[in-house]
Structure 1
Amino acid sequence: MPDGADKKSKAAAASQAADVAAAPASASRLKGRLVIGSAVAVIAVLFGSREIYNRINFVHAEDSRIEADLITVSSRVAGWVTAMEITEGSPISKGQVMLNIDARESKLRLNELDAQVAGLGAERERLAAERRMVDAKTASQFLSEQSQLDAAQVTVSSLQPQLELAKREFERAKSLFERKVASRRQLDQAENAHQQIEREHQIALAKLKAGKAMLTEAGAERTQLAVLDGEVTILTHRKAELLTQLEKQKLDLTDRTIRSPVTGVVDKTFVKIGEYVTPGQRLALVHDPAKIWIEANIKETQIRNLKIGQSVEVGVDAYPDAEFRGSVLTIGNATTSEFALLPSPNPSGNFTKITQRLPVRIAIDQQGGLLRPGMMVEIKIDIRNP
């Protein structure tokens, strides 16, 4: 019995000793858990506060990308590509030759038109010289005939009263002779005088008639001037038409040398030497790296907070360690769904409300050619200063 009691007391003492030894370990574990829990809570509060702060003071958008005016260089003429002066990715200056299209036929046509214009010019000069000669010749002849006609007219006009007077004298002498008052000699003299004046008058009338005919003939010869003037006018119009064709052909020849419309970089080429191109066909894509912007799609629920000029923090996926900044340039006036090629009407009456987005353009400066069209970016618009 005493031995059994001792064993029980020893076991109880050992158990108490174990409990006393385990108590500090449990307290230590509990303290560690409390510290960890407190740290997690603090971190959660910090992250939550930061998230709330960002939501209140910034507008975020991940669906954003860098944009630029990608210019499609195309041909205005048809022909074979004879030379390529560019490669994809190469820099290019405004006006620099990009490629050449076969210009042999165009040059021949230009030379042909030049020859035709020169020929028309020579023909026009010949007609002009002929006109001057005809004008000088017919003008002097016309003036001479006009002078003779005027002289004949004066002669007729001066003889007319003399003829009338001689006629009256003859009739008076005849009457006096019949009454035995005048002699035969006086009658003959009066008759001879009348006949002489009448002959002279008839001759003057004949000269007047001939003068009119000669003047009419001279005038008819001067009508040749009008014919020559008409031919010169026709040649003038024909030359103007040829000059227009000549300028058009010069433009065709110029268009066979394709030049860059901007200073920038070649993004892509679509043809090779020896290929046949047609008017309007794409030849290359170019853009100006200095003229870029960011196109972001912002939720309609956030658009009320945006203002032109607000500062924007930009993160570029390609350069995670680099910092870029920009500013709000424009805010769209219609949602992106309005520009969809295939609208989605809802005639069935079933409706699911979807938050729409509006395009917002953000200005950003190029930095060493790092920013390129199509790159994805994340933006954070500072709305604290409305």
Structure 2
Amino acid sequence: MSADQSKQPQDDTAKPDDAPKKPSIFSKPLFWVVLVVVVGAIVIGSVLYYLDARQYETTDDAFVDAHIVRISPTVAGTLKQVADVDNRHVEAGRLLAVISASGPEARLSEAAADVKQAEAQFEQARAQVAAAQATRDQAAAQARGPLATAAKAQQDLARYEALQRIDSAAVAGQQLDAARAVARSTAAEATAARQQIGSAAANVEVARRQVTAARAVIEARQASVRQANVTLGDNRLTAPVSGQVVNRQVNVGSYVGPGTQLMAIVPDHIWVTANFKETQLQRMKIGQPVMITVDAYPDVKFTGHVDSVQRGAGQAFALLPPQNATGNYVKVVQRVPVRIEFDVKPGGPDPRKYPLGPGMSVVPTVKVR
């Protein structure tokens, strides 16, 4: 091996030591400039996000809600007509179902016949009043003669007795006895005439009471007719509110009883029930604006406002409220239902034009600042 060859490796191993070192990235001013700009942007963005986010309270534990109206009959029978309105909008008063009404119709006819009978009895009682009044008037007219005769006999007797006291020879005893007999006889006839008048007047009063009783019977029969009409009307089921018919469970020919649910109606008036954490209610007030996003229509931004806040967490109204009087209690943030009403603003979306119904998930965002 030559001397030149032995020096070759030593020269090669010396090259790395002689090469200049690469400068560190931390020593470059541009790195620090970029780092400061990025950190500043993050800090500014975080501050701006915090300042904006602190103005709102939101939750995904929220649903569309409504007072669902359940249609049930109050009488039993077989359905002979059911409107074909599944998932359709109906107005209040729309006929939904008809129950066979042979029994109520018969009772209505019977009640109407009873009314006519009572009216006939009433007219008969009025006629009896007129007849009794005529009898009373006739008795009064017939009593005028006996009363006048009795009065004249009493006057004659009084005159004879007065003359006798003045002069006992002025009036014969036989004549005085005859006057007394005539006075007694005419007085008895007058008493009988008065009794006939009293009896006729009593008959008039009885007839009038019969008229009153007949009028009461008519009113009772008319009440029966009204009750029969109500019963007959109960066989016709109409929509009590405007809304969409859902959950139909019967068909023509189905036998139903009182309380059997035939269908339900979701009213046009709906709202949002949002279960916010109790820690989110500090600045929440009635009337604050709300932005509502429905999961079914994520691109539609509905608007609303806070209508009310329930006084009590949801667990307080549970069937079995929790008992926290134990040694292993763990505090859990409770949720409080908040009712949010939809607003219809010019140019904004109208929730009535969308098929929104109870149970649909929404995300409300309340502006609290």
Which whole-Å CA distance do the structure 1 matches of 2:250 and 2:37 have between them? 64
Q: Is the 8 A contact 2:274 2:338 kept in 1?
A: yes
Which whole-Å CA distance do the structure 2 matches of 1:93 and 1:276 have between them? 26
1:247 aligned to 212, 218, 226, which one?
226
Higher alpha-carbon deviation: 94-103 or 313-322: 313-322
Which whole-Å CA distance do the structure 2 matches of 1:299 and 1:9 have between them? 77
2:314 matched to which residue of 1? 336
Output the aligned Cα RMSD.
3.3
Higher alpha-carbon deviation: 149-158 or 117-126: 149-158
Percent identical pairs in the alignment equals 27
Q: Is the 8 A contact 1:163 1:194 kept in 2?
A: no
The C-alpha deviation readout for 1:317-360, integer Å capped at 9, x for no partner, is 11222222222222222222211111111232221111112211
2:291 aligned to 290, 313, 327, which one?
313
2:195 matched to which residue of 1? 216
Query: TM-score, normalized by length of structure 1?
Result: 0.81
For residue 166 of structure 1, report the CA deviation from its aligned partner. 4.4
Q: SS at the partner of 1:330?
A: strand
2:68 matched to which residue of 1? 70
Q: SS at the partner of 1:269?
A: coil
Q: SS at the partner of 1:378?
A: strand
Q: SS at the partner of 2:333?
A: coil
Q: SS at the partner of 2:59?
A: strand
1:16-95 mapped onto 2 (5 Å cutoff): 48=46, 52-95=50-93
Which whole-Å CA distance do the structure 2 matches of 1:267 and 1:35 have between them? 65
Q: Is the 8 A contact 1:167 1:194 kept in 2?
A: no
Does residue 136 (structure 1) correspond to residue 108 (structure 2)? The answer is: no
For residue 280 of structure 1, report the CA deviation from its aligned partner. 3.0
Q: Is the 8 A contact 2:266 2:357 kept in 1?
A: no
Which whole-Å CA distance do the structure 2 matches of 1:54 and 1:380 have between them? 12
Letter in 2 for 1:382: K
1:363 matched to which residue of 2? 341
Which whole-Å CA distance do the structure 2 matches of 1:36 and 1:363 have between them? 49
1:382 matched to which residue of 2? 367
Go from structure 1 to structure 2 and tell me whether the alpha carbon gap of 1:298 and 1:321 turns closer, same or farther (over 3 Å shift). same
1:100 matched to which residue of 2? 98
Letter in 2 for 1:315: T
Q: Is the 8 A contact 2:62 2:363 kept in 1?
A: yes
1:354 matched to which residue of 2? 332
2:238 aligned to 259, 276, 282, which one?
259
Q: Which has the larger radius of gyration?
A: 1
1:372 matched to which residue of 2? 357
Higher alpha-carbon deviation: 333-342 or 205-214: 205-214
Q: Is the 8 A contact 2:142 2:193 kept in 1?
A: no
Letter in 1 for 2:66: A
Question: Runs of 5+ in structure 2 lacking a partner?
Answer: 344-349
Q: Is the 8 A contact 1:113 1:242 kept in 2?
A: yes
For residue 118 of structure 1, report the CA deviation from its aligned partner. 0.8
Higher alpha-carbon deviation: 100-109 or 278-287: 278-287
Which whole-Å CA distance do the structure 2 matches of 1:88 and 1:35 have between them? 68
Q: SS at the partner of 1:142?
A: helix
For residue 34 of structure 1, report the CA deviation from its aligned partner. 11
Which whole-Å CA distance do the structure 2 matches of 1:166 and 1:145 have between them? 31
1:224-239 mapped onto 2 (5 Å cutoff): 224-239=203-218
Letter in 1 for 2:327: G
For residue 124 of structure 1, report the CA deviation from its aligned partner. 1.4
Query: TM-score, normalized by length of structure 2?
Result: 0.84
Higher alpha-carbon deviation: 46-55 or 297-306: 46-55
For residue 5 of structure 1, report the CA deviation from its aligned partner. 3.0
Question: Runs of 5+ in structure 1 lacking a partner?
Answer: 173-189
Q: Is the 8 A contact 2:65 2:272 kept in 1?
A: yes
The C-alpha deviation readout for 1:100-133, integer Å capped at 9, x for no partner, is 1112221221111111111111111112112212
Q: Is the 8 A contact 1:82 1:101 kept in 2?
A: yes
Go from structure 1 to structure 2 and tell me whether the alpha carbon gap of 1:379 and 1:329 turns closer, same or farther (over 3 Å shift). same
Which whole-Å CA distance do the structure 1 matches of 2:101 and 2:33 have between them? 84
For residue 9 of structure 1, report the CA deviation from its aligned partner. 5.5
Q: Is the 8 A contact 2:149 2:186 kept in 1?
A: no
Q: Is the 8 A contact 1:86 1:266 kept in 2?
A: no
Go from structure 1 to structure 2 and tell me whether the alpha carbon gap of 1:245 and 1:269 turns closer, same or farther (over 3 Å shift). same
Letter in 1 for 2:262: L
Q: Is the 8 A contact 1:326 1:364 kept in 2?
A: yes
1:292 aligned to 270, 275, 286, which one?
270
